[in-house]
Amino acid sequence: MRPSLASLCLFFETILIVATLIVAIPIAATADDAPIFTLSQLL
């Protein structure tokens, strides 16, 4: 059975959020001067 479009979108959205967090947390930890700017740049 093929997965529905909604579940596919949810799946890719979850992967995107997890990947963004994995990349953004170390950058935000090392960029002490502007972590919020770094996070908004990635998003």
Q: pLDDT tens-digit profile of 22-42?
A: 888 777 677 665 555 555 666
The one-letter amino acid at 38: T
Pair of tokens at residue 22: 């994995």
Alpha carbon distance 31, 19 (integer Å): 18
The confidence score (pLDDT) of residue 37 equals 59
**What is the average pLDDT value for the chain, to the nearest integer?**
77
Instruction: Specify the pTM.
Output: 0.50
CB atoms within 10 A of CB 34: 11
